[in-house]
Chains A and B, each alone.
Chain A
Amino acid sequence: GIQVEQSPPDLILQEGANSTLRCNFSDSVNNLQWFHQNPWGQLINLFYIPSGTKQNGRLSATTVATERYSLLYISSSQTTDSGVYFCAVDMNNAGNMLTFGGGTRLMVKP
C-alpha cells in the first residue's frame, strides 16, 4: 500500500515562530488532507489539498502532486497550535480510504 512519511516527528517552537511540516507519499493520490489533533484528542480538519496551495489565516498548505509531497506552514505560532499534525492520503476515490502518516508532534511554548 501507499506509504506516508511526515517530518519532523517532533517540533518545539517559541510562541511567534514560524514552522514548516512536511508530508511525503509514495504514490499518486486523489485526496490529501491535513488534520490537527488537539491535546484533548479531537481531530480537526485543516485542509483538503490534493494539489495546489490554500491558506486559512495563519496556516497555509501546498501540495506538489507530481513530486509527491505536501507542506503545511504555520506562521506566528500560538500555544493553541500545540498538538499533533497528521497528513492523510487516499489513492482510490471510490472508497476514500485514508492512509495516515505518523504525525508531527508540535509544542509551542509561551
Chain B
Amino acid sequence: KNQVEQSPQSLIILEGKNCTLQCNYTVSPFSNLRWYKQDTGRGPVSLTIMTFSENTKSNGRYTATLDADTKQSSLHITASQLSDSASYICVVNYGQNFVFGPGTRLSVLP
C-alpha cells in the first residue's frame, strides 16, 4: 500500500534552535518527493521538490534530504524563527498521483 509517514507528530522548539523532521514512504513507482509548509488556515506552500537523483536540496534555512534506497527524507530547519510555526507536509508523487503524509506540527516559542 502506498503510504507516507511522518515523525514526530508535533514538535516544540525555542526560537533560534535547529530541528529535523522525518518522512518515510512506501510509494512505488517513485517520481518525486515534496515538502510543503502550511500555516494555520492557509493553503500549503512548496518548500522543495526532489527527484530520484537528488539527495539534498536547500531553500533558504530549509534543507531537505532524500535517500531513495531507504525511502526516507528529512527536512532540516536551521536557526528557527517564530514564523516557522506551521505544519510541514511530506508528499510523494508517483505516476499521476500524490500521497500525502499526515504532517508534523512545529511550534517555535520565543
Is the A/B pair a real complex? no
Residues on B lying within 8 angstroms of A by beta carbon are none
Residues on A lying within 8 angstroms of B by beta carbon are none
